[in-house]
Structure 1
Amino acid sequence: MIHMEFKMNDLEKLRHSTAHVMAQAVTELYPNTKLAIGPPIKDGFYYDFDTEHIFTPDDFAKIEERMQQIIDGDFSFNIRYMKSDEARRYFESIGEKYKVEIIDDLGEDQVSLYKQDTFEDLCKGPHVHSTGKIKAFKLLQIAGAYWRGSEKNKMLQRIYGTAFPSKKELRE
């Protein structure tokens, strides 16, 4: 595999990293949650979740509190590479069917995973150095999103958020 990282600016890296922190918080708070994708977008980030729990804005405070604990832990984002068949078996063993499907679709010999604290996710990166670099974030809204954008697929729950280098920029 030729390792190709997306070229992301610093704000996109920050937001992408914050999406990973949110995914960690959600999977810790709602343990049977399965992960789909979580990219940075123009005004922030999102992550798509498959869970029996129905998210409401009332959940944001609890999720944000856990996110802040992860951020305060200042955990490094560490990359590791796995052969695709090994990664496929790993994600199958933990019931992450969406990750298995992504690996199959990539058709690469090798994939990358990023880990912070106890959370590991299939990801091409890049990320900020550590969770402690995330200074200001806010969860914004919840929406439904079909897996792969097709109404033939399962409806997932998408949580949107945003992140900025400072609380001042977040307020503006």
Structure 2
Amino acid sequence: MTRKQATIAVRSGLNDDEQYGCVVPPIHLSSTYNFTGFNEPRAHDYSRRGNPTRDVVQRALAELEGGAGAVLTNTGMSAIHLVTTVFLKPGDLLVAPHDCYGGSYRLFDSLAKRGCYRVLFVDQGDEQALRAALADKPKLVLVESPSNPLLRVVDIAKICHLAREVGAVSVVDNTFLS
């Protein structure tokens, strides 16, 4: 039986606490965790890297989205930087919207100038311009819809389909809709 989104959202993480049997997952406030022995860390050692509370939320998000996993970050810009760090290496091409969030634009431009990757800013609402950019075989296509701050909407499904045709990974930043 397939569970509905609302059921997943309400029930995810319930009765998962094997250590104490908590029905509702507790909020773990500890910043550091002890090791079981010298150089023998537990699942968590420092909360900046992860903690049990974040694990519960990440599992819930993955289940809601039908994904294999999820990663929470503390800001949208850290998420954007993480994605480029994971998927791009020097010489790889990132295709990004020409009207993306200014912070994203400056980050991409700065890292491209430092040789971390190449970036091409394109009007993703212009199919011809998008296809021309995709002809360069990007590794990553960032879509921002609605765009920030102009609120321009593009066809996410179409862009992702076109990106997939050239083997690119698509990442969608939908800050205003989430």
The structure, 1 or 2, with the larger RCO (C-alpha pairs under 8 Å, 6+ apart) is 1
Superposition TM-score, scaled by structure 2 size? 0.23
In the superposition, the TM-score normalised over structure 1's length comes to 0.24
Between Structure 1 and Structure 2, the one with more strand by share is: 1
Larger C-alpha radius of gyration, 1 or 2?
2
